[in-house]
Amino acid sequence: MKLSKLAIAAAMAATLSAPIHAAEQFFPVLVYRTGAYAPNGSQWANGYVDYLKLVNAKGGINGVKIAYEECEFGYATDRGVECYERLKNKHGGATVFQPLSTGVTFALTDKAPIDKIPLITAGYGRSESQNGAVFTWNFPLLGTYWVAADVLVQHVAKKEGGFDKLKGKKIALVYHDSPYGKEPIALLEERAKMHGFQLMLLPVAHPGVEQKATWLQIRQQRPDYVFLWGWGVMNSTALKEAQATGYPREKMYGVWWAGAEPDVKDVGEGAKGYNALALQHGAEPNAKVVKDILTLVYDKGQGTGPREEVGNVLYMRGLISAMLGVEGVRRAQERFGKGKVMTGEQVRWGLENLDLDQKKLDALGFAGVMRPVRTSCLDHMGSSWVRIHTWNGTKWEFTSDWYQADEKVIRPMVMLASAKYAEEKKITPRTPEQCKE
């Protein structure tokens, strides 16, 4: 009796969970709401999912509703790959993957061309994947770590009064000892050669709570600037150690993953004066899109995370990442048929021909949040504008003008590294004619 009841219930559940939604665009969501990086990862995830909810509340992408499913991987590469395999064929096939982990990005870069699913890595991933002729399926939109490092050097040079003043200066890079943290080294070494500053490399092991030795070295060597390439708990630990060693926070510059509320909140006053890059946006509680989300999603009780975190730095990062994916679909629909569900291949075309001008951004509610993005076959990044914001003890404030990464430095490095990759993987780069297809 009991067994038959269970069987009936199971059968009913099976029929209920079967995809009834025939024409929905499926967005898989790889998240880490647990583990050492959860405080940062969950805000990004909330922003990402909230934006998808907002698009649905506004009627979908030209009428096509979005389906989404989360998969938790705890920032572990092998579980991330498992999540990818689990989600890629669900609900009629995944539209785009955004893993928010450089390690997972590296693993998926090989799989994406086979499965024909584009990979957006807004503000992370492989720096050389900017070259879309080789990395057909990777989209490091808005910026790579080479852009970040380049802008930091530019900013420091400006503070010193010119690139020639950097000679003999000492810059320390405190980095997460993983592909993520190592990415900027190549560019910083190049810049160090150009301007004659000395680069100190100080790796910090995962998860980054043990930094005593690192900061002892900083106390001894007294570098002029410290660049912080941390993630999660490593950032707040670094700030606490800086406070303990007495290293001036004003001379510390974090990458855009080391410049959000969870990194500085615990340190509070101690982090005052600490600077970090802003991937175009900062904390944007007054943006129109945020107000839309509050009225259309949160007021209806459908918010994913706590209401007070809406508009935080990493929340906005997730929001923008989702928006870029959705706009890729919208662009693809313009060519392949409005109101239809796009395949991964079609979305890839959409992302490669993305053209978000100021008018479109304003209409989406992103006025003042970010600058126009325009991608092409050779440039899968679309924009390399960055500014810097500073923690004033209670909130992040913009303290610099817009910077743009120096193409003359980055382009040759991108071409060289992507050519090496193409040779290793026996990929023939696409010709300009093939790009037009």
Partner 1 sequence: MIYRENGQFKTSYAADQQIFPIRQDRIAILALLIFAGVGVPLFADEYLFRAILIPFLILSLAALGVNLLVGYCGQITLGAGAFMAVGAYAAYNFLIRVDGMPMLIAVLLGGVVAALVGIVFGVPSLRVRGLYLAVATLAAQFFWDWAFLRIRWFTNYSSSGSVSVAELDFFGWRIETPVEKYLLCLGLLILFALVAKNLTRGAIGRQWMAIRDMDVAAEVIGIRPMYAKLSAFAVSSFYLGVAGALWGFVHLGSWEPAAFSIDRSFQLLFMVIIGGLGSIMGSFFGAAFIVVLPIFLNQFLPWLGGLVGVTISTAAVSHAEFMIFGALIIFFLIVEPHGLARLWSTGKEKLRLWPFPH
Q: What are the residues binding partner 1 (CB under 8 A)? A: 9-10, 13, 16-17, 31, 33-34, 38, 42, 70-72, 74, 77-78, 81-82, 85-86, 89, 102-103, 106-107, 109-111, 126, 177-179, 182-183, 185-186, 203, 206, 417, 424-426
59 three-state secondary structure:
coil
Q: Given the complex with partner 1, which of 190 and 352 has the nearer CB atom?
A: 190
Minimum gap (Å) between residue 5 Cβ and partner 1:
12
Tell me how far apart the alpha carbons of residues 301 and 291 are, in angstroms, rounded to a whole number.
15
State the minimum distance, in angstroms, from the CB of residue 129 to partner 1.
Answer: 11
Nearer to partner 1, 13 or 363 (CB): 13
Please give the structure tokens belonging to residue 299: 């007021």
Minimal distance in Å, beta carbon 106 to partner 1?
5
CB of 304 to partner 1, least distance (A): 9
User: Distance (Å, rounded) from C-alpha 54 to C-alpha 45?
Assistant: 14
Q: Which is nearer to partner 1, 109 or 280 (CB)?
A: 109
State the nearest-atom distance from the C-beta of 85 to partner 1, in Å: 4
Is the CB of 82 or the CB of 269 nearer to partner 1? 82
d(CA 348, CA 261): 33
> Could you tell me the two tokens for 85?
């395999």
| Comparison of 29 and 373: residue with beta carbon closer to partner 1 | 29
The angle, 0 to 180 degrees and rounded to 10, between the axes of the packed helices 344-352 and 313-336 is 110
> With respect to partner 1, which residue has the nearer C-beta, 87 or 354?
87
* Cβ–Cβ < 8 Å for 28, 322: no
Residue number with CB closer to partner 1 (75 or 391): 75
Complex with partner 1: residue 422 or 435, whichever CB lies closer: 422
Tokens matching residue 265: 């909140």
CB of 26 to partner 1, least distance (A): 15
Where does 179-248 show beta strands of DSSP type E? 198-204, 225-229
Contacts of 55 (CB under 8 A, 6+ apart): 61, 66, 326
SS3 per-residue string spanning 133-183: CCCCCEECCCCCHHHHHHHHHHHHHHHHCCHHHHCCCEEEEEEECCHHHHC
Q: How many other CB atoms are there within 10 angstroms of residue 111's CB atom?
A: 16
Give yes or no for a contact between 44 and 314, defined as CB atoms under 8 angstroms apart: yes
Q: Which DSSP helix (H) or strand (E) runs through 26? A: strand 24-31
**Shorter beta-carbon distance to partner 1: residue 17 or 220:** 17
Kindly state the smallest distance separating residue 201's Cβ from partner 1, in Å.
10
Q: Are strands 385-391 and 24-31 parallel, antiparallel or unpaired?
A: unpaired
Question: From CA 178, how far away is CA 203, in angstroms rounded?
Answer: 9
Q: How far is the CB of 71 from partner 1 (least distance, A)?
A: 7
Q: How far is the CB of 175 from partner 1 (least distance, A)?
A: 11
Of 257, 199, 255, residue with least CA distance to 223: 199
Taking a C-beta distance cutoff of 8 angstroms, is the pair 29, 70 a contact?
A: yes
